[in-house]
Structure 1
Amino acid sequence: MKPVTDICDEYPQTVQTMQEHLIHYGRRTQFEGPVRTVSVFEDNVLVKRMLEEAEAGTVIVVDGGGRGGRTALLGDNLAAIGAERGIAGVILYGFIRDADELRDIDIGVAALGTRPQKSHKGGKGYTDVPLNMAGVLWEPGMWVCADKDGVAVLPEKPSGR
């Protein structure tokens, strides 16, 4: 995978970048893949379902309401499901928990920060919908690259990948 900075240099006309700094928690600090989207607030049932159903190599992008959320949307149990299924990563515009445990799980996890409280389990929200989040218009099927420099989003998978 090319660094996010190189992606931005190569595709200046089509790249979008997240305008919010995310912290990396999973073992993988560099990951990429096709986007699947989830929109929820303080409820992670659909996040779990997406981790269980998405194809290997997918990056799951979760709009969890940004800094307004009071609960974690992903912890070590859900991250382990994703790692076992070969999910490339999870980008959370929201919060995680079990930060120490996530370092040992082979998945990319980037989020705003941590919250110790678990989420609700009502199953409310949406999957595979366009998201307007942190300066990016996300659509399922787009291509995302993430590393410690940031998150770059392209309309499609770059050639040669």
Structure 2
Amino acid sequence: MTVSTCDLSDKHGEHARIPAPVFHNFGARRAFHGRAVTVKCFEDNSRVKEVLATPGNGRVLVVDGGGSTRCALLGDMIAKDAVANGWSGIVVFGCVRDTAVLEGLDIGIKALGTNPRRSTRRGEGTLHIPVDFAGIQVKEDDIVAADCDGIVVIAAKHATEIG
């Protein structure tokens, strides 16, 4: 069971980073948590597909898509790979698509919105770097927890075991 984001915020105070409330739920899991793996990309989901095809071990992929709403960085096929590979969740500062399928998948997905247009695949994007969006920074291995109240990010050095 996951500790609520409200409780984490209370417990960690100033060490709890909370992004602006701009994200919506799309996966079947409404609560999820895990260590962050980061990707920075813009309208190219090559690295998203690449990472989610590897073992997730309960981690959360955090995608800084630059806030673009012109195309989707995640759809049903890549999300199905994430489920099969044991990812706990995905946070996309951008859009997703195939939401009728996403809502039935056993994974947490938070994103800005939806767009039926797929992204390009030119092999662009950067992995494992700090990403900044919605007023916070997320670093590789930070703890990311999400539920219906929002998202909380805690630096690994300040985190204790969560749920």
Q: Deviation of residue 158 (structure 1)?
A: 3.0
Counterpart of 1:94 in structure 2 is 94
Q: Deviations over 1:48-99 (max 9, x none)?
A: 1110125310100000111x33110001101100000110000000000001
Partner of 2:60: 59
- SS of 1:20's partner is coil
Query: CA contact under 8 A between 2:96 and 2:113: conserved in structure 1?
Result: yes
Unaligned runs of 5+ in 1: none
Residue 83 of structure 1 aligns with which residue?
83
Whether the 8 Å CA contact 2:34–2:59 is kept in 1: the answer is yes
Unaligned segments of structure 2, at least 5 residues? none
Structure-2 residue corresponding to 1:8: 9
SS in 1 for 2:144: strand
2:108 is matched with: 108
* Counterpart check, 1:151 vs 2:151: yes
Tell me how far apart the structure 2 counterparts of residues 55 and 87 of structure 1 sit (CA, whole Å). Answer: 4
1:41, 1:69 within 8 Å by CA — same for their partners in 2?
no
SS of equivalent residue, structure 2 residue 132:
strand
- Is the 8 Å Cα contact of residues 142 and 154 (structure 2) preserved in structure 1? yes
- Is the aligned partner of 1:129 residue 2:132? no
Say if 2:69 and 2:114, in contact at 8 Å, map to a contact too. no
Query: Aligned with 2:51: secondary structure?
Result: helix
Is the 1:145–1:152 contact (alpha carbons within 8 Å) kept by the matching residues of 2? yes
- Greater shift after overlay, 51-60 or 37-46? 51-60
Contact kept? 2:24, 2:110, Cα under 8 Å: yes
Task: Output the CA distance in 1 between the equivalents of 2:161 and 2:129.
Answer: 27
Give CA deviations for 1:16-55 in whole Å, capped at 9, x if unaligned: 0011321111010100000000011111110011101253
Aligned length: 160
TM-score normalised per structure 2: 0.94
Contact 1:27 1:103 in 2 (8 A): yes
Counterpart residue type for residue 27 of structure 2: G
Following the alignment from structure 2 to structure 1, what is the Cα–Cα distance between the partners of residues 161 and 154?
14
Change in Cα spacing, 1:53 to 1:70, as seen in structure 2 (3 Å) is same
> Residue 158 of structure 1 aligns to which amino acid in structure 2?
A
C-alpha distance in 2, partners of 1:22/1:96?
Answer: 11
Normalising by structure 1, we get a TM-score of 0.95
- RMSD between superposed Cα atoms in Å: 1.2
Distance 2:161 2:149 in 1: 22
